[in-house]
A = this chain, B = another copy of it.
Amino acid sequence: MSIRETGMQKENGMREDDLEVYKRQGFDNPSGFGKRPALVIVDFVNGFADPGKFGGGNIAPAIAATVKLLAFFRERRLPVAHTRVVYADDGSDWGVFTLKAPALKTLTESAHASQIVAELTPMAGEYVVRKRQASAFFGTELNAWLTMQRVDTVVVAGCTTSGCVRATVVDAMQNNFRTVVATECVGDRAIGPHEANLFDMRQKYADLHDNAAVMRAIDALK
């Protein structure tokens, strides 16, 4: 799947000669799959499914596609982690992120908006990460948990593509996990940033695959 085929250059303002620069400088190589993948589902909580709060754009179809990918990981008993944004009720943990986006403060432990959407409800044994920042790795034990599960490959679903997904993907790559963006399973409130961040991640940090390709690659590991 070339950039050209995705029509990305129209959506996000990339021009032909921009793409040539990346190609000439040697980006956009695959990092591939390792031996043992985990699925990390970022912030698919009610508040991000709701266009009246943090949602909109293509988040709803991304949740629907994630239901299928999650079922695939569960059938194969592969590790699954979910993230939620959770701030303290008393505001003791507010920081710079809540200065930039104050509505995040409403995402408290018991708030409806911070609960994982019903169709992706975690099963017992799946790891639920409470986080306050963009990256699922920041200030959490996600990395240590992945080590405990002997994972070497992280498949990322969730939202938003231009926010917590991007930050999580960069950290997964930095921690030396082969990182895969499940393209049908990531969504954003606005399509321009969604496309622009898919481009960046593909060039430098992660491989991009649709669900069928992810499933095919994982079944080929056996």
Contacts and interface: CB of A to CB of B under 8 A. Distances in A.
B138 A95 contact: no
Interface string A198-222: 0110011110000000000000000
Q: Count the copies.
A: 4
A92 B13 contact: no
Interface string A43-61: 0000000000110110000
A33 to B, nearest CB: 12
Query: Of A96, A175, A190, which is in contact with the most chain B CB atoms at under 10 Å from its CB?
Result: A96
Contact of A170 (B128, B135, B189): B135
B99 A18 contact: no
A174 B29 contact: no
Interface stretch (A20-28, A64-72, A113-121): A20-28
A92 B192 contact: no
A78 interface: no
B125 A90 contact: yes
Contacts of A135: 170, 174
A1 interface: no
B31 A96 contact: yes
Given A95-B148, A193-B196, 6 more contacts: A14-B190, A34-B150, A35-B150, A146-B147, A150-B150, A166-B200
30 contacts: A11-B13, A12-B13, A12-B192, A13-B13, A14-B192, A14-B193, A18-B192, A21-B56, A21-B189, A25-B53, A26-B101, A26-B102, A28-B100, A30-B99, A90-B124, A95-B176, A96-B176, A96-B177, A97-B204, A100-B173, A133-B141, A134-B173, A134-B205, A139-B141, A144-B174, A145-B176, A146-B147, A163-B204, A167-B174, A170-B170
- Identify the 7 closest CB pairs spanning chains A and B, nearest first: A196-B196, A139-B141, A18-B190, A13-B13, A148-B176, A31-B99, A133-B174
